[in-house]
Amino acid sequence: MNQYHRAHRQSINERDEFWAAEAARIHWETPFTDVVDASRPPFSQWFVGGRTNLCFNAVDRWAKKQPEHTALIWHSTEVERENRYSYAELLAEVQAVAAGLVELGVGRGDRVLIYMPMIPEAVFTMLACARIGAVHSVVFGGFAAVSLANRIDDARPDVIVSADAGSRAGKILPYKPLLDDAIARSQHPPRAVVMVDRQLAAFQKVAGRDHDYAALRARHLGAEVPVAWLESSEPSYILYTSGTTGKPKGVQRDTGGYAVALATSMDYVFQCKAGDTFFCTSDIGWVVGHSYIVYGPLLSGMATVLYEGTPVRPDGAILWKLVEQERVNVLFSSPTAIRVLKKQDPALLSRHDVSSLRALYLAGEPLDEPTATWISQGLGKPVIDNYWQTESGWPILSAQPGIEQTPLKFGSPSFPVIGFDVRVFNESTGEELPAGEKGVVAIVPPLPPGALSTLWGDDQRFVDTYFSSIPNQQVYSTFDWGLVDKDGYWFILGRTDDVINVAGHRLGTREIEESISSHSNIAECAVVGIADALKGQVAVAFAVLKNTTVIESEAQRSAHEAEIMRQVDQQLGAVARPARVYFVTALPKTRSGKVLRRVIQAVCEGRAPGDVTTMEDPAALAQIQAAVG
């Protein structure tokens, strides 16, 4: 791993030289004077004095260089439609939206909230905001009115762009009633609302406030809107972390550092180049969608696939069908999606030609070894686990085949990505820990290009939240437990607040989940720590079976539970054995696929579940409640 280690060390120890070279990947209208200003830790500013523009780098320069090359491919299995746009066509659509926003009074630094499904107009709007220097804030489509109102009040947008409805698994979700309710609740309502009418749900316009997207587009199609050249550190967008309760936590991203980081990652992490096709199955409401549906692929001159649908509709082969149809080179999805596919007919993995696919990347939550093994063997392709957060903007840990091909270890997201000085610390003393010892995964500042620059409107909260939890250290806490093995491979063991203390033994729920998931009949599981008068806490597991016929009677259920407990006992020891294993058909998750462990824990302890507005399927919560009685 000589090449990787050399590159990573240089990105940390010779930051100016390394990142000045990487910055050449994008266009600078005005050259930067300093690579990084870290004189006010933990804040840092990248490419100081340089002026650039995300939209220009993602669209204009490629529209000039390769105008007829495909830029955006939209597939919807919800409405059975598809559209594709060349770089020249994408530029025309973006400029039309930009002109419409300008007509509505939006300018540099103003906020535009985007509350939309996975449709091309959402991408056009994001890029249009970047073009004119407006700050966009995308909120996941269909988000509850109270949560949406909180985000409106925090971002204070001048304009909101939305749609009549989204669709999920064939079910129409009207957006306009939620949006009107949220605006009515907010203290800082927008001046204007722009609506995309998909003809999915009838809605009423508010006179003097609501505008029609199609009419604005028609009025401005063919317009030429000048690019706003932003100083590198000016904000590009605000993105609120999923599951936030109380005052929303708005991650603020810069412009120049983000562009350089994504362009660099497309080469080193994803090993892609102009003309390739990239398919990310995330949603634009999440950070993965921002970075690897919209900006990353387009900054690199690639075609990006925008998908509205689920991994199992019309059947469990839809992702592979799209890979075959669009000759996808890299697929980026989540462990949750793959675990859903594990419950489908294995023959679906070989129905389509996936020879164009170079690798499958998975992120969003820990990837368990059984799932990684199953999909790797089924596809015959490398499966690259990568670990990151909304705050980081791009992967913190990952293999980096664009620098050097390194062996993969299933269950590990490999190594720190260039620019990230990642270490493991003792949560009580702040001592840096050696290989093999568990601790809190943290990043030594300055944070690299592309990471959050602060929290929107709240610098002190930025410091207090991320840089004040580890004693005697001013380092960015990921709030995840982890360790490095003797070979230098990193392992993420779960959130620091998901650690179970059983009779003085600290156990990461991730380890127990990994053990349970290795059982041949387990599709996925979640483990939480439950208060116990004798031991402090005990582990309780909720498991989704691949084959439910094995528990048709109470005796069968008990036998299957005992079998899984024995497996954990054998693999991790008796101290890690769950007190109970409950069998359910679904786990409560956010719309981004994260298991709501805090909700499960609350139900088990007889407490109110708290904020469940981010939950994808309320029926899953009802199952947990029924299981524990």
Q: Which pLDDT score, from 0 to 100, does residue 505 have?
A: 67
Please tell me which residue, 615 or 475, carries the higher pLDDT value: 475
Least confident of 61-70, 139-148, 441-450: 139-148
- Average pLDDT for 304-324: 96
Q: Which pLDDT score, from 0 to 100, does residue 608 have?
A: 86
Please tell me which residue, 364 or 171, carries the higher pLDDT value: 171
- What pLDDT band is residue 245 in, cutting at 50, 70 and 90? very low
Give 236-254 as a DSSP string. -EEEEPTT--SS--EEEE-
Q: Six-digit token pair at 368? A: 């368990």
Q: Residue 402, exposed/middle/buried by CB under 10 A (0-12, 13-18, 19+)? A: middle
Q: How far is CA 7 from CA 65, 91, 319, 419, 590, in A?
A: 30, 35, 34, 9, 37
Mean pLDDT of the chain: 93
Strands (E), 470-606: 476-484, 490-495, 499-502, 505-508, 522-532, 536-545, 580-584
Task: Compute the distance between CA of residue 118 and CA of residue 146 in angstroms, rounded to an integer.
Answer: 22
Q: Which pLDDT score, from 0 to 100, does residue 611 have?
A: 72
Task: Compute the distance between CA of residue 323 and CA of residue 381 in angstroms, rounded to an integer.
Answer: 13
Token pair 């203290």 in the structure block, residue: 187
Give 139-197 as a DSSP string. --TT--HHHHHHHHHHH--SEEEEESEEEETTEEEE-HHHHHHHHHH-SS--SEEEEE-
Q: Six-digit token pair at 85? A: 């746009």
What totals of helices (H) and strands (E) does the chain contain, helices first?
20, 32
Domains of the chain with CATH codes: 2-309+386-481 (3.40.50.12780), 503-628 (3.30.300.30)
Task: Compute the distance between CA of residue 452 and CA of residue 258 in angstroms, rounded to an integer.
Answer: 9
Using only C-alpha atoms, the chain has a radius of gyration, in whole angstroms, of 24
Q: How far apart are the first and last CA of the chain?
A: 53
Q: Which pLDDT score, from 0 to 100, does residue 613 have?
A: 72
Least confident of 94-108, 137-151, 219-233: 137-151
Task: Compute the distance between CA of residue 199 and CA of residue 629 in angstroms, rounded to an integer.
Answer: 43
Give one word for 243, left, alpha or beta, with left for phi > 0 and alpha for psi -120 to 50. left
Own/partner contacts of 599-605, CB < 8 Å, gap of 24 or more, are 599/624, 600/526, 600/528, 600/542, 600/624, 601/528, 601/529, 601/530, 603/628, 604/528, 604/530, 604/540, 604/628, 605/530, 605/531
Closest to 461 in 3D by CA, of 247, 306, 304: 247
Q: Six-digit token pair at 592? A: 């981004």
Digit-coded pLDDT (tens) for 48-99: 999 999 999 999 999 999 999 999 999 999 999 999 999 999 999 999 999 9
Least confident of 85-94, 200-209, 520-529, 572-581: 572-581
Q: Which pLDDT score, from 0 to 100, does residue 612 have?
A: 77
The answer to whether residues 348 and 317 touch, using CB atoms and an 8 Å cutoff, is yes
Least confident of 340-354, 411-425, 463-477: 340-354
- Average pLDDT for 265-282: 97
Task: Compute the distance between CA of residue 242 and CA of residue 613 in angstroms, rounded to an integer.
Answer: 10
Q: Directed axis angle between helix 87-103 and helix 213-220, to 10°?
A: 110
**For residue 361, what are the β-bridge partners?**
332, 384
**For residue 37, what are the β-bridge partners?**
45
Instruction: Provide CB contacts within 8 A for 80, sequence distance 6+.
Output: none
Task: Compute the distance between CA of residue 142 and CA of residue 169 in angstroms, rounded to an integer.
Answer: 14
The answer to whether residues 256 and 232 touch, using CB atoms and an 8 Å cutoff, is yes
Q: Six-digit token pair at 70? A: 């495909």
Closest to 414 in 3D by CA, of 359, 464, 456, 452: 359
Predicted confidence (pLDDT) at residue 323 exceeds the cutoff of 70: yes
The answer to whether residues 260 and 238 touch, using CB atoms and an 8 Å cutoff, is no
Task: Compute the distance between CA of residue 629 and CA of residue 545 in angstroms, rounded to an integer.
Answer: 20
SS3 416: strand
Q: How far is CA 68 from CA 62, 275, 308, 487, 559, in A?
A: 10, 11, 24, 46, 62
Instruction: Provide CB contacts within 8 A for 574, sequence distance 6+.
Output: none
Least confident of 124-133, 188-197, 444-453, 530-539: 530-539
- Average pLDDT for 294-313: 97
Please tell me which residue, 342 or 327, carries the higher pLDDT value: 327
Distance, CA of 618 to chain centre: 22
Q: Quote the DSSP letter at residue 452.
A: -
Q: Six-digit token pair at 252? A: 């603020």
Predicted confidence (pLDDT) at residue 213 exceeds the cutoff of 90: yes
Q: pTM for the whole thing?
A: 0.87
